[in-house]
Chains A and B, each alone.
Chain A
Amino acid sequence: MARVLVIAEHDGTHLNQSTARCVSCAAQIDPAGADVLVLGADCTAVAAEAAALQGVARVLTLTRPENAAALAAVFAPQIAAVASGYGYVLGPSTTFGKDLMPRVAALLGVGQVSDLMGVDGPRSFRRPIYAGNAVLTVEVPEGLTVVATVRAASFRPAGAGGTAPVEALATSTPVPAHTRFVELRTGSGSTRPDLQTARIVVSGGRGVGSEANFALLYQLADRIGAGVGASRAAVDAGFVPNDMQVGQTGKIIAPELYMAFGISGAIQHLTGIKDAGLIVAINKDPEAAIFQVADVGLVGDLFQVIPELLKKLG
């Protein structure tokens, strides 16, 4: 039996890519493969996607109406019951995993390794602290279940081609009724590539100036097939919805190309883009901190640079 249990994140129809990244992390801990646990009101489609991942030993499902929404208080006791047979329980370091996994750890009476970014040994892991300004190596003592959230940007998604069996588990664990899902309001609701998986991300900060001006960034993004992100200042100012925020308190992303327009480069923002392949910064202030980390910098006014870029790209 696998020693690592990965908790799947999904939207009811599709597996979130962060799960495939957890499976890669699991393979570094135990090359024998991981079991993936899917909780839902109907797990069929998601379980099939999980079963097709390389490195998955078995897919386990917990199907019941109470699992329709991913409520930590409802999921945690069910996961804790399954977890007793495993040495490791991994979830993604997304808002889903960050909400859920500490509740699982507490029920198991163990700690949690948050934002696991590197596996140094079977019980020794690296994680970022102080908004990524330091890296801490931690060790979980022998005999304790390792519960961790996996920093997606640090692991490649597991590939396709797996043929794991799917097993339905009995659902007898009592779950509370004190927490109810009301609704999910998706922010941008756009058809652009998802910020967390996009190959290219175009991002705007306070320098963009208004919600209307963001149209310029969307135009550029659509021309080059990019996802669109933003700094906290741009979100706070109401230019864009919260799900576009990149950084310590937003999304941690690792696109091949990150283009920052009108973003000063505060450490809380930079922590979200440290793993990007190439960082391009366009800022009218030559002293902006973002130029200290950018691979390519251009001092200029974004309102001139973007139209020119669009013209040159045709």
Chain B
Amino acid sequence: MEKIIVCLKRVVDYNVRIRVRPDGTGVMTDGVKMSINPFDEIALEEALRIRERGQAKEVVAVSIGPADCQQQLRTGLAMGADRAVLIETADDVEPLVAARALLRIVEREQPGLVLLGKQAIDDDNNQTGQMLAALWNRPQATFASRLELDGGRATVTREVDAGLEVLSVDLPAVVTTDLRLNEPRYVKLPDIMKAKKKPLETLALASLAVDAAVRVRSLRYAEPVERTKGTMVTDVDALVAVLRDKGLLN
């Protein structure tokens, strides 16, 4: 195929212990480390491997969000993407709006495959890929742990509750990635230098004529109800006694 589009979302790094703002308007992001959503990084790695096997010619990374997303796109370019597109907006982007914006890029670029993470680790929505596939009227294969391309088809192994499900889909298609699909490569310093010269195009979300009306309004953020630290027992006898006492074991 000619082209693969990979979607990269800028999110709070997965190692950061998140804190809710006291006024409930969001989570604290000032000075917090931001990264590519780990599932999207896996999507990019998969696209690069497909290109390196000679099954695709070009990998285009796309992000939606504020100008700062350029950092994550530059990282994506350093990993090996050929060029990048930033759809810029200062507003929160709902999955349906993201899918509609991505559809515009998909219509322009005509990729053989769109790869994205199964969910973003900030809002944990797990929607954008499925919505894009619906709007594009193309197949979807979500939660992929294995992806094989054969001519105009992809065979995708999906991680589902019952085990592993295998689907065969016609291309073009949308595939969302699970954690066990691959292990993303590390970026090397010379690649970071080279990435600075790769093309990064910026489009205003507003210029894409996408319906961005709010469909799910975020009202309030709160700390979860925390479980409190319990008691420590010193031996197996005491453990068994507690469990029998609570009627959990006989």
List chain A positions with a Cβ less than 8 A from chain B: 11, 71-73, 76, 94-96, 98-107, 109-115, 124, 128-141, 144, 176, 178-189, 196, 200, 224, 232, 235-236, 241-243, 248-249, 251, 256-257, 267-268, 274, 278-280, 291-300, 305, 308-309, 312-313
Contact = CB atoms under 8 A, between A and B. Distances in A.
Contacts of B236: 298, 300, 305, 308-309, 312
A279 to B, nearest CB: 7
Contacts of B224: 128, 132-135, 274
Contacts of B12: 130
Contacts of B223: 134-135
Interface in B117-149: 118-119, 121-135, 137-143, 145
A297 B228 CA distance: 12
A113 B127 CA distance: 10
Contacts of B139: 73, 176, 178-179
B248 A257 contact: yes
23 contacts: A72-B130, A95-B160, A102-B130, A106-B135, A113-B216, A130-B12, A134-B221, A139-B216, A141-B214, A178-B138, A178-B139, A184-B165, A184-B166, A268-B14, A278-B243, A280-B243, A292-B229, A295-B231, A298-B236, A298-B238, A298-B239, A305-B236, A312-B237
Residue from B119, B161, B223, B243 with most neighbouring chain A CB atoms (10 Å)? B161
A135 B224 CA distance: 6
B207 interface: no
A243 B162 contact: yes
Contacts of A115: 124
B169 A187 contact: no
Interface of B: 12, 14, 17-18, 20, 27, 94-96, 99, 118-119, 121-135, 137-143, 145, 155, 158-170, 173, 178-180, 214-224, 226-227, 229-240, 242-243, 246, 248-249
Contacts of B145: 242
B233 to A, nearest CB: 5
Contact of A106 (B123, B134, B173, B243): B134
Contacts of B132: 106
A182 B242 contact: no
A293 B164 contact: no
Given A110-B96, A299-B232, 20 more contacts: A73-B140, A102-B130, A106-B131, A114-B125, A131-B121, A133-B17, A134-B221, A134-B223, A136-B123, A137-B218, A180-B168, A180-B169, A181-B166, A182-B167, A183-B165, A187-B162, A224-B249, A249-B178, A298-B235, A313-B240
Contacts of A196: 161
Nearest to B168: A180
A80 to B, nearest CB: 9
B212 to A, nearest CB: 12
Which secondary structure characterizes the binding site on chain A? mixed
A111 B94 contact: yes
Given A96-B161, A185-B166, A196-B161, A103 B131 contact: yes
Contacts of B122: 129-130
Contacts of B140: 72-73, 99, 103, 179
Given A129-B123, A134-B27, A135-B221, A293 B229 contact: yes
A175 to B, nearest CB: 12
B242 A114 contact: no
Contact of B248 (A135, A144, A256): A256
A100 B214 CA distance: 22
A199 B98 CA distance: 40
Contacts of B135: 106
A129 B163 CA distance: 25
Contacts of A181: 165-167
A141 B231 contact: no
Contact of B163 (A96, A135, A184, A232): A184
A280 B130 contact: no
Contacts of B20: 134
Contacts of A188: 163
Contacts of A184: 160, 162-166
Contact of B180 (A11, A131, A242): A242
A111 B95 contact: yes
A304 to B, nearest CB: 8
B204 to A, nearest CB: 22
Contacts of A297: 230-233
Contact of A134 (B167, B170, B222, B231): B222
Contacts of B243: 257, 278, 280, 296
A280 B239 contact: yes
Contacts of A100: 130
A182 B148 CA distance: 13
B124 A106 contact: no
A144 B249 CA distance: 48
